[in-house]
Chain A
Amino acid sequence: MQDKNVLSENLSALKAKIENELDVLKSSKELYEFKNVYLEGKKSKISELMKEMKNLAPEEKASYGKSVNELKEWAVGRFANMEKRVKEMELSHRYEKEKIDISIPAEPAKIGNLHPVTLVKNQLIDIFAGMGFEIFEGSEIETDYYNFTALNTPQDHPARDMQDTFYLSPEFLLRTQTSAGQIHVMEKKKPPIKILSPGKVFRSDDDATHSPMFSQMEGLVVDKGITLSDLKGMLDVFVQKVYGEGTTTRLRPSYFPFTEPSVEVDCSCFACGGKGCSLCKGTGWIEILGAGVVNKKVLENCGIDSEEYSGFAFGIGLERTAMLKYGINNIKLLFNSDIRVLQQINEK
């Protein structure tokens, strides 16, 4: 039979040993080893103490068993605390080792940009699509009829001098305006019509402020009872969405063969709010587009009864809009594909 006192001493000795050894543990590996030696498994020191039970007198078994269990509970608790401390320490070491110079510049993932004209085009389409406009993209090569004659600009009309046209044959030309698309739509579709036709147009002009190719977006509404006031109402909404709340429009007389009355539309300068600045050349107004009430003859040329229906049309220069919006000072930059320019402008 084992002496109870010896066993009791063994318990105390193990407790002291655990206490001493536990405190110096420094790593997960040591923790693991310690756990195996003292706490877990049939060969651990605690298990071995428990095995002594069989050698005790029956009346002493209960109290001994209790003592061993208490020791085990105590040891597991201490171990858990220690384990937590070591793990925390290890983690912080690991982090410290990975200390980096966060000020070193990083190479960003490269993202391409849509062209400024595409950005503006999409923005305008979104605005007008919300007002019920469909999108129609016509062809860049047009006939004289669709580009001029049907738009009330017959052969000897003075307005033909307004635009220097690139001809491809006596009949075919590069469209000088997206209005050419209007005719195609009106020939096929009867009112109500609300279309937007964006696209490239061409004029024989090449200098600091003109490019032989540029982009326009033409809008056309034909329905019953459409008036000049409706044009103004729609343009008011448009400028507020593009240039911000509080932007207002001003109409002033102009001339296009396919509209009557024809107007130039200015919006209050979004840079200075209309007080006058370098952008608006001190006038407080910026010219943004040409528009007007669709000429009766144009409707009639398309087989639409001009007494029953009326409409308005407007044409916006997209390069000009983009230049105003992004502060680009030279139209040639838009066609030059200079990556230093293209990467500056995005709307993501």
Chain B
Amino acid sequence: MILPLSWLKDYVEIDVTPEELEKKLFDAGFEVEEKYELGKDIDKVVAGYVEQCEPIPDTHLCVCQVNAGTWGNFQVCCGADNVKIGGKFPLALVGATVYATAKDHKTVEGVATIKKGKLRGYESYGMLCSGVELGLTEDLYPGAGYNGLLVLPEDAKPGEDVKPMLGLDDWIFDIALTANRPDCQSILGMAREVAAVLGKELKMPDTDYTETEVKKEGFTVSVEAQDLCPRYSAHYVYDVKIAPSPAWMRHRLALVGMASISNVVDITNYVLKEIGQPMHAFDCSYLEGNKIQVRRAEEGEEIVTLDEQVYTMSPANLVICDGVKPVALAGVMGGLNSEIRDTTEGVIFESAKFARDNVRKTARSLGKNTDASARYEKGVDEYSVVLGMKRALHLMEELGCGKISGTHVDVNTGNSIEPTPMKVSIQKVNGVLGITVPDEEIRNIMKRLNFNPKINGDELLIEVPAYREDMLPQGENDVERYPDVAEEVIRMYGYDHITSTFMPSAQVTMGGYTNQQKGELALKKTLCSMGIHECMHYSFFSPSDLDLLRFPEDAKERNAIQILNPINQDLSLMRTTLASSMLNAISRNEKQGILEGRLFETAKIFVPKSLPLTEYPQEKNTLCVGIFGQEETFYTMKGIAGTIAESMGITFTYEKRKKTFLHPYQTVAVFCQGEEIGYFGKVAYDIQDELDMRASAFLMELDLELLAKWYGSKRVFCPLSKYGEEKRDLAFVMDKEITFGEVEECIRKGNKYIKEIKLFDVYEGGQIPAGKKSMAYTVTFEPKNEAFEGDTVQKFVDKICKNLKNELDIDLRA
């Protein structure tokens, strides 16, 4: 919220520096996000009195002798058409800073330092300035919009700093407000807090006015949708004279970034900023039927708003209507049909409370955000509905732009704007904080915050002002809001009074990871030990990722949960696989010239039970490993899988599998104790090309939900055999298509002493017949209960050879 200190000072005396005020507001919960002096870029600019002014021949320039009081007299060259003897203008002395403007004299192009200059042979010691050069506009200071010198007031003393006389010494605070304090969304609201913080009196703005005998006979207001409009008040003002607003009002509106339009419109905006109450003014002559109706819009009903846009509404939108047609989009913007014109003579002022959520929905759905809707969305209280109307009527009278009739209609749901009494236990207030705040401090704080406190033993009796809706009880069971009081007390008393204690009354609890968490962390560390870096990707992905992975229409991965309001299409689906994120990560690395690497991610994939969601989907913890580079092969990935299994004390088995995004012959499904838990394989070449990947890449995805049951498996020591192992190197010649797996299975079959079968060579060509290959193994036999006898192992080998020959037509290589 933009808070000019000059305006704030109308309601509270400020006897501290802006820095001190910032600190005090910060401690009380109001962070000043930005603060600056309005004339922060302007320095060494003083009032100059032009004593002589001679035209320089053949130019538009004049050479002036300017009296700058105690600074001295300076010769200054000036090209403005309104420079004249006897004029008082801002003089930027040598070394001054002002805004530099473009050739149009209007567009600010940064800050310039004034130097001694020479124009057409005349020396110039400084510059007479326009309003724009001082950062002023016509609204901020009358005459500042003129394309020439800014004329200073008659009583300006030569040599005096111009900043105070032009309001440039004002400070602007931009304050971040928390969502629980909509009552502070106004100058008056912040003044209440500043008064409390500084311990000063709050001076309320004038709200008095005189009602005449005149009435708008028969005028009625009806509110059909009271749920969306708990309070609506209207007041008729006549003999209206539309004119520009006075300079002081234009100045203030300009300070908070609002353009001046006309006195009546400016009053509504002024009240919005000052009191925090959005107001609207209807031109009476365009209201038909002598009535205001507040109702839900009909389906397809249209309104043309002040900015000449046509909106088609639905019953979700609240409209203000006259007897015939919509005249305003409630809480958002007025209708063009009843806008204030130069000819307006009669006005109905509206001050109302609309349901914040409804205003927000209307503003969002129609794409229309206004100062009023922004204010309503934060929450307007009924106290300000009443105060705002009074203030607007007072200003109408003060500005002399209309007469206040006796026709005032207030439709409300019976909410009081009087304070609500509340009783809390001081002990409980202190119990929240863990310290004892002295009663006198509590009383003093609550008094400064306008809660009219009384202390009676442990009882603190307060009256909650109507604008503090955040403190008001909500429902019958919510009468004793001591935490709210504790919060008010401590933010004023100071959080630095909170001492550090360590739960002296709490019971001891056992903390730590669950087995599942420990297991996952151990798994991650195992992966790191293999040179694999952990990475983290968004939980959402793109529909194009599903296409990248070549999933067919009926693939389960396409059954992804959609985000209704995604940031963009690429982040619109909840992941059903981690593969595409990993592929994209590899591709990004390769684009950076990193052509080898290993990555893993553990994250959830989301499997809906039904779409759209009607129950919680399954969130499956999943591991994805991606490796890429010249050195990587199918077998390095298989080794990674093996190490994972070994680290958990389990074994994986593998079966050929087809995946749309992986190599048809280098892809397997991974099984753990008979259960399929995932896959790995080489990335298909068409996908590699699509992603501009130069190096081969391999992906693995494992279901950690299934793997989790093996986390922390108990290891049991297996005694070492007392008897020596026997190893035999055996080379076989076989058909090329026979796999290691088939051979291994056949060797193992029927021999319980085989501990390990290790392949150490695969060879084709040379003495090996075409279509055949040689595979050489080391087979280790481990005796169980007694040592092998002399020819036992040879018998095993013979049996193995026989089996291989019979089953796979494999010969022992001579």
Asked if A pairs with B, the answer is yes
Q: Name the residue on A nearest B477 (C-beta).
A: A300
Binary contact readout A247-290 vs B (1 if CB under 8 angstroms, 0 otherwise) = 00011111101001111000000000000000000000000000
Tell me the complex Cα distance, A149–B619, Å. 23
Binary contact readout B406-449 vs A (1 if CB under 8 angstroms, 0 otherwise) = 00000000000000000000000001111100000000000000
Q: Which of B160-168, B594-602, B734-742 contacts A (4 or more CB under 8 A)?
A: B594-602
Residues of chain B within 8 A of A233, CB atoms compared? 499-503
Give the number of residues in A that approach B within 8 Å (Cβ atoms). 87
Contact of A156 with B509 in the complex, beta carbons under 8 Å: no
Q: Give residues of chain B (556-606) contacting chain A, Cβ–Cβ below 8 Å.
A: 561-567, 571, 574, 585, 588-589, 592, 594, 597-600, 604, 606
Q: Name the residue on B nearest A348 (C-beta).
A: B528
Q: Name the residue on B nearest A263 (C-beta).
A: B495
The 4 closest A-B pairs by CB, nearest first: A227-B434, A229-B434, A110-B531, A253-B29
Q: Give residues of chain A (313-334) contacting chain B, Cβ–Cβ below 8 Å.
A: 334
Binary contact readout B754-786 vs A (1 if CB under 8 angstroms, 0 otherwise) = 000000000000000000000000000000000
CB of B507 closer than 8 Å to a CB of A: yes
Residues of chain B within 8 A of A234, CB atoms compared? 502-503
Residues of chain A within 8 A of B514, CB atoms compared? 134-135
Tell me the complex Cα distance, A251–B498, Å. 9
CB of A117 closer than 8 Å to a CB of B: yes
Contact of A141 with B617 in the complex, beta carbons under 8 Å: yes
CB distance from A21 to the nearest CB of B (A): 45
Contact of B511 with A130 in the complex, beta carbons under 8 Å: yes
Q: List 22 A-B contacts (CB under 8 A).
A: A111-B531, A118-B534, A135-B517, A155-B357, A156-B357, A168-B564, A169-B612, A171-B613, A192-B509, A204-B565, A212-B567, A223-B506, A225-B504, A230-B504, A233-B502, A251-B498, A260-B483, A260-B487, A296-B483, A337-B536, A338-B588, A342-B599
Residues of chain B within 8 A of A78, CB atoms compared? none
Q: Name the residue on B nearest A130 (C-beta).
A: B511
Contact of A252 with B495 in the complex, beta carbons under 8 Å: yes
CB distance from A322 to the nearest CB of B (A): 11
CB distance from A220 to the nearest CB of B (A): 12
CB of A302 closer than 8 Å to a CB of B: no
CB of B486 closer than 8 Å to a CB of A: yes
Tell me the complex Cα distance, A104–B539, Å. 44
Q: Name the residue on A nearest B490 (C-beta).
A: A261
From the candidates A114, A212, A237, A337, name the one contacting B524 in the complex (CB within 8 A).
A114
Contact of B491 with A229 in the complex, beta carbons under 8 Å: no
Contact of B597 with A339 in the complex, beta carbons under 8 Å: yes
Tell me the complex Cα distance, A295–B482, Å. 11
Q: Name the residue on B nearest A171 (C-beta).
A: B613
Tell me the complex Cα distance, A112–B598, Å. 8
Residues of chain B within 8 A of A236, CB atoms compared? 500
Q: Name the residue on A nearest B568 (C-beta).
A: A206
Residues of chain B within 8 A of A252, CB atoms compared? 26-27, 29, 495
CB of A64 closer than 8 Å to a CB of B: no
CB distance from A104 to the nearest CB of B (A): 21
Residues of chain A within 8 A of B357, CB atoms compared? 155-156
CB of B70 closer than 8 Å to a CB of A: no
Q: Give residues of chain B (8-42) contacting chain A, Cβ–Cβ below 8 Å.
A: 26-29
Binary contact readout B522-546 vs A (1 if CB under 8 angstroms, 0 otherwise) = 0011011111111111111000000
Q: Give residues of chain B (170-184) contacting chain A, Cβ–Cβ below 8 Å.
A: 178-182
Contact of A168 with B432 in the complex, beta carbons under 8 Å: no
B residues with a Cβ closer than 8 A to A are 26-29, 178-182, 355-357, 360, 377-379, 431-435, 478, 483-484, 486-487, 490-491, 495-496, 498-514, 517, 521, 524-525, 527-540, 561-567, 571, 574, 585, 588-589, 592, 594, 597-600, 604, 606, 612-614, 616-617, 619
Residues of chain B within 8 A of A162, CB atoms compared? 179
From the candidates B431, B529, B592, B599, name the one contacting A111 in the complex (CB within 8 A).
B529
CB distance from A54 to the nearest CB of B (A): 48
Contact of A135 with B512 in the complex, beta carbons under 8 Å: yes
Tell me the complex Cα distance, A157–B589, Å. 44
CB distance from B420 to the nearest CB of A (A): 18
Tell me the complex Cα distance, A143–B617, Å. 11
Q: Give residues of chain A (160-204) contacting chain B, Cβ–Cβ below 8 Å.
A: 161-162, 166-169, 171-172, 174, 192-194, 196, 200, 202, 204
Contact of B538 with A335 in the complex, beta carbons under 8 Å: yes
Known A-B contacts A156-B356, A226-B506, A255-B181; A200 and B539 likewise in contact (beta carbons under 8 Å): yes
Contact of B511 with A132 in the complex, beta carbons under 8 Å: yes
Contact of A158 with B594 in the complex, beta carbons under 8 Å: no
Residues of chain B within 8 A of A223, CB atoms compared? 503, 505-507
Contact of B528 with A111 in the complex, beta carbons under 8 Å: yes
Residues of chain A within 8 A of B182, CB atoms compared? 158
Contact of A192 with B562 in the complex, beta carbons under 8 Å: no
CB of A27 closer than 8 Å to a CB of B: no
Tell me the complex Cα distance, A227–B428, Å. 11
Tell me the complex Cα distance, A261–B561, Å. 37
CB of A228 closer than 8 Å to a CB of B: yes
Q: Give residues of chain A (72-107) contacting chain B, Cβ–Cβ below 8 Å.
A: none
Q: Name the residue on B nearest A345 (C-beta).
A: B533
CB of A34 closer than 8 Å to a CB of B: no
CB of A151 closer than 8 Å to a CB of B: no
Contact of A129 with B567 in the complex, beta carbons under 8 Å: no
Known A-B contacts A115-B535, A221-B506, A226-B506; A140 and B524 likewise in contact (beta carbons under 8 Å): no
Known A-B contacts A129-B512, A223-B503; A228 and B434 likewise in contact (beta carbons under 8 Å): yes
Known A-B contacts A230-B503, A254-B178; A140 and B564 likewise in contact (beta carbons under 8 Å): no
CB distance from B790 to the nearest CB of A (A): 36
Contact of B613 with A253 in the complex, beta carbons under 8 Å: no
Tell me the complex Cα distance, A112–B531, Å. 4
Residues of chain A within 8 A of B432, CB atoms compared? 227-228, 261, 293, 310
Residues of chain A within 8 A of B599, CB atoms compared? 337, 339, 342
Contact of A141 with B567 in the complex, beta carbons under 8 Å: no
